[in-house]
Amino acid sequence: MPSPRSRPLTGGEIVIVVVVMVLAAVLTIAGLPMFGIAELLGGTAAVVLGLMRSGARGAGPAQ
């Protein structure tokens, strides 16, 4: 059985990643690189936390 870490991203997570990348790029191009960086870090944290939560739910006894 694959571990939670090896599962592919879901559609929702892919949408989050794309939206965050576009917003970060737009804010950086608009001359607001600090806001772009903050947006990128916030989106990354949201995806990582989502992956950690789904991994905790699926965790079972080691075999």
Looking at residue 46, its pLDDT comes to 83
| Domain residue extents for the chain | 12-53
* Helix extents (H) in 1-63: 11-29, 33-58
CA-CA distance, 4 to 10, in Å (whole number)? 12
Digit-coded pLDDT (tens) for 1-47: 455 566 777 888 888 888 888 888 888 888 888 877 887 788 888 88
CA-CA distance, 20 to 41, in Å (whole number)? 9
Report the amino acid identity of residue 56: A
Q: How confident is the model at residue 56 (pLDDT cuts 50, 70, 90)?
A: low
Looking at residue 14, its pLDDT comes to 82
Q: Which residue has the tokens 């090896």?
A: 6
Q: Does pTM surpass 0.75?
A: no
